[in-house]
Amino acid sequence: MGRNLLKVLFSVSLSAFLAISGPVFAQDLTLQDLGIEQPGILPSNPFYFFKSWGRTIRQTLTFSDISRVELQLEILNEQAAEVRKLAEINPDKLEGFERAVKNYIDSAVALKTRVQALKPNQVGNSKFLDLFLDRALKHKEILDELMGRFKKNESYEEFYNLIIEAEERLTDAVAVIPGNIEDAKKFRDRFQSVIVKQKGELREFIASEFIDQLEPKIRRDARDELLKLKDSLLLRWAGRLRGLRAAIDNNSVGASFSASGTENQTFNALSNFPGDAKRRLKVLDEAREKIADISVKNNINIIRQQILDTVREEGGASKANAESAIADAGNIITEVRARLAEAENRAGISGILDRAIFNLAAAKNFFEDGSYGSAYSSALAASAAAKNALSSLIVKATDYGDELQSIKQYYDALSAKTKDNGLIADQNPKIFALMKNAESQIVKTADLINSGSDSPKIASAIRELKAILSSIEQLIEEALKFNASVPTP
């Protein structure tokens, strides 16, 4: 196979990582992913009321609390499938979508009420929790796609706001769960196990956006656990970006790739991903705080500017939104200051906090000058830095052992994947070099923990390990894609 063809094949594999526009991404999610073969009569059909009657009868004949909540989730999932099906057959017919989304909102509100009636053991020890979290992430994807299909403008403004309300009611229902589970860490672990099973190269980023929506709606201990999860997810996402960069720079998957312009186009495509551009910008800033790799960070900065431009075009960087963003940043900074006194880990926080305070001051100056777009941008940067400080503060010494254990399991899984798929060092030197490095770093990190080393050193080592392993995961995926593309002799 010629070298140019190798480049083309690898370019296609690379483009699949982030070059995901709204419609392409939506096609990745099927009705079967929702556990539904066919949704049946759709809200656009005049006989849809028969379907609604049937659901009401089923609800009337269901008696136990857990059975009622399971049925309500089933109905909500069916209605999400109806939205998805409408997108396939009548993508531009607003009337059917409006009815479908209103039905979804009503069911999400009803589901919240049902979940509130459950006892802690019914929520935490049932299959319902994993199914609910899985469906919630998939429903967000469907609603985000709808948001991208009917982008905010005067013609669709009312419906666009209806979609936003649907996502809010969905997160309201999920936010009830932590209140019904005594152990917030258990909720985090269950959520993480669901997230890793999702499809798509942007699964960690999508889940981080969902967590961002949940944060203001849940109690503090649960929020702290989800902040740890979001921190880990964004590190993993950034690590896979670094792995992609390594695949481009090295012959680690049997192909070379030097066209940086194509890579930039790939990264820039993230700005076309459907959903709330303001939230995407906010989460992207939090991810940017955690990225050390200069090449990856430069590409993230390009994406950020593109998304910020979109926010401005849609009127999202208004005076009111800038003022709100400044207030949010100030509140997070105030919380960081208040929690410094009770934190086990204070070292290294002052520098991050100073950066947040500096960006907040800049946001206020821009606001006073009437530069609301710049004020909004700086306020988001301040919030991201403050969130980074908060994420460091909430980590306890006892967390490090659990983190390292998870890292070891991740390493073992990747090691098994290389063996099971016949990957060898001669053909994939970068993968095996990183595996050797990771093994060495795991030992060193364990020594740091056992010797009671400074928390910042341990936290830094754990973050780097997560990034290395995520890079390895991406390199393995690219190697397998490339191997699958090469015809057997």
Q: Answer positive or negative: Cα dihedral of 2, 4, 7, 8.
A: negative
Distance CA(23)–CA(1), nearest Å, equals 33
Statement: residue 426 has pLDDT above 60: yes
Decide if 377 is inside a domain.
yes
Decide if 454 is inside a domain.
no
The per-residue pLDDT for range 4-62, each reduced to its tens digit, is 444 444 444 444 444 433 333 444 788 999 999 899 999 989 999 999 999 999 999 98
Statement: residue 69 has pLDDT above 90: yes
Task: Count Cβ atoms within 10 A of the Cβ of residue 226 and give its class: 0-12 exposed, 13-18 middle, 19 or more buried.
Answer: buried
Residue with tokens 């932590």: 178
The per-residue pLDDT for range 389-421, each reduced to its tens digit, is 998 888 877 788 888 999 999 999 999 999 999
Least confident range from 85-94, 373-382, 418-427: namely 85-94
Q: Could you list the residue range(s) of the whole structural domain that residue 324 is in?
A: 317-393
Closest by alpha carbon to 227, among 383, 354, 112?
Answer: 383
Decide if 325 is inside a domain.
yes
Decide if 109 is inside a domain.
no
- Give the confidence band of 345 by pLDDT, cuts at 50, 70, 90: low
Decide if 271 is inside a domain.
no
Mean pLDDT, the chain, rounded, equals 84
Statement: residue 445 has pLDDT above 70: yes
Closest by alpha carbon to 137, among 66, 190, 179, 181?
Answer: 190
pLDDT given for residue 10 in this prediction: 41
Percent of the chain with pLDDT over 70: 86
CA distances from 163 to 239, 279, 310, 418, 468 (A): 32, 14, 19, 43, 38
> What is the total count of domains within the chain?
1
Statement: residue 117 has pLDDT above 60: yes
Q: How many residues can be counted in the chain?
A: 489
Decide if 364 is inside a domain.
yes
Q: What is the pTM of this model?
A: 0.86
Decide if 206 is inside a domain.
no
- Give the confidence band of 96 by pLDDT, cuts at 50, 70, 90: confident
Closest by alpha carbon to 13, among 359, 476, 411, 434?
Answer: 476
Q: Answer positive or negative: Cα dihedral of 435, 441, 442, 444.
A: positive
Q: What is the mean pLDDT of residues 225-249?
A: 84
The per-residue pLDDT for range 316-339, each reduced to its tens digit, is 899 999 999 999 999 999 999 998
- Give the confidence band of 268 by pLDDT, cuts at 50, 70, 90: low
Q: Which residue has the higher pLDDT, 442 or 314?
A: 442
